[in-house]
Amino acid sequence: MKPFVLTEFGFQSHWILLAALYLAGWAVYQGIKTLYWHPLAKFPGPRIGALTRLYKTYVECVAQGSFVHLLEEHHARYGDIVRVGPNELHFSNPATYLEIYNPSNRWDKEESLYHSFGEDRSSFGFLTYKEAKERKDVLNRMLSRKAILGSQGIVQEKVVELCKSFERKKNSTVNLFYAFRCMSIDVITYLCFGSSVDAINAPDHQAPIIIAMDASLPVFVRFKHSAFYKSMIVNCPPAISKIVSPLTAGLVDLQQLLKGQIKEMTEDPSTLEKLPHSRTVFTSCCDQRRTRAGPYHVQTASMKKRKPLCLAAQIQPAQPSCMTAVLKESLRMSPGVASALPRIVPPSGAKISGQFIPGGTVVGMSSHFVHRSETVFEKPNEFIPDRWLGEKGSQLDKWLFSFSHGPRSCLGQNLAWAELYFCFAHLYRKFDIEMDPSSPRELQWRDRFLPEYIGPHLKAKITPVAS
């Protein structure tokens, strides 16, 4: 019987070897096809990126790198168009941003990014223009300039509350990185759900929801690269999730609060009449805007040190343009969204940056490449608010993409501007601000879709101005 067993084993080994050789041959064939015969083969880029999406997974999840900064190196080496994935291109020419995110385009979003936040049916997560438009038409009425002007009392109330929290800490150091974001999240949650999370009054402004947002950024990056990991975490019972990841407990608590509120309103619509204000914007609005205010405010808070004369002038009613210039320059230098916003070229294909791009190709461009472009902004890495003043400055407005551009741009930009104007007008009227020596001279960040700020936080000694 032994020879028979050995022969059978040898027969099985033979087929295993053949299967292994077939798989190896198939992999080699696919690699050659992707590199040389693919419709995107003519576009330059790192070979490993053209071969597999695991290249980006390695950079973002294993090496903990900043992909947008890596793209700067790639564009310096390969030119304006870089192949960053088997079916993905990234662009760097500023004019190309207006081609991809053109208001007339109805291109679909690419799924892996927009479904990485666990809210696939939010206005942010809708992939097609048609389904997003239905939600956006409703939300636009709630977040229009007219609507925000009608709700400016809510913004002012939270700004005053923030100023009072500064007064309680007079002559001591305040963590501005947390404080401004607490104000923003309180405004948003109040407008969206009728009550705020009271982040402003958290000890040292370290509100659980703010801490959770920062801690969740690497998690959302992993969601983008692994649907299985996302499913496992999203479907984890809240109690267990808070034990496994205590830092993100604030997000779990907010989610449970909103679920309870939605259930209450669904079962008893009269609950809406009991809210402090009649206009309530639901979760999908908050999804897009809530984490974006922080980076704007953090960069803006360093303005006084860098441009004292301009800031002194901005509070004078006769010179509102100076305040606007400072805010625009802060928005330019501090990204709201760091990553490219991927779109799918329609089946007919499209001409982008002078090249025909086949249908089905994933294309994108980070606004960082516009905001730091030497062809658009003189000395782009320097904080120069004066560049936005006068007729020459007004011509730069079309190159400010802090809220993206086109039919899928940020819904909350009117609210964001209201927060910025109210916050800094109050702040520099009421307080003397001295940067803490521990504050970084330049803010360093890593691309986690949103910027993840690394290193010391921005802190300041805030002293009330004598009446």
Q: Which sign does the torsion angle of CA 329, 333, 336, 341 carry? A: positive
Mean pLDDT along residues 438-453: 89
Does the pLDDT at position 315 exceed 60?
no
Mean pLDDT along residues 55-72: 94
Does the pLDDT at position 62 exceed 90?
yes
pLDDT tens-digit map of 294-305: 433 333 434 444
Average pLDDT of every residue of the chain: 81
Question: Is residue 255 included in any domain, yes or no?
Answer: yes
* Tally of CB atoms within 10 A around 272: 13
For 70, the domain range is 43-464
Question: Is residue 386 included in any domain, yes or no?
Answer: yes
Q: Strands, E, within 409-449: which ranges?
A: 431-435, 444-448
Question: Is residue 10 included in any domain, yes or no?
Answer: no
Cβ proximity of 288 and 413 under 8 Å: no
Question: Is residue 372 included in any domain, yes or no?
Answer: yes
Rounded Cα distance between 223 and 113, Å, is 8
Question: Is residue 245 included in any domain, yes or no?
Answer: yes
Does the pLDDT at position 86 exceed 90?
yes
Rounded Cα distance between 21 and 25, Å, is 6
Domain count, the chain: 1
Rounded Cα distance between 350 and 247, Å, is 44
pLDDT tens-digit map of 87-140: 999 999 999 999 999 988 889 999 888 888 766 677 777 888 888 877 788 778
Mean pLDDT along residues 319-325: 77
Q: Give residue 23's pLDDT.
A: 76
pLDDT tens-digit map of 350-359: 999 999 999 9
CATH number at residue 94: 1.10.630.10
Residue 286 counted as an annotated binding residue: no
Q: Give residue 47's pLDDT.
A: 92
CA dihedral 19, 22, 26, 29 (to 10 degrees): 160
Q: Strands, E, within 249-334: which ranges?
A: none
pLDDT tens-digit map of 238-293: 777 777 667 666 667 767 766 776 676 676 666 555 555 444 444 333 333 333 34
Range from 58-62, 135-139, 445-449 carrying the lowest mean pLDDT? 135-139
Mean pLDDT along residues 53-70: 94
Question: Is residue 58 included in any domain, yes or no?
Answer: yes
The proportion of the chain whose per-residue pLDDT surpasses 70, expressed as a percent, equals 79
Question: Is residue 423 included in any domain, yes or no?
Answer: yes
Mean pLDDT along residues 300-316: 39
Cβ proximity of 426 and 163 under 8 Å: yes
Whole-structure pTM value: 0.82
Closest CA to 210 of 242, 257, 177: 177
Closest CA to 84 of 339, 400, 335: 339
Question: Is residue 221 included in any domain, yes or no?
Answer: yes
Check residues 170 and 447 and name the one with the higher pLDDT.
Answer: 447
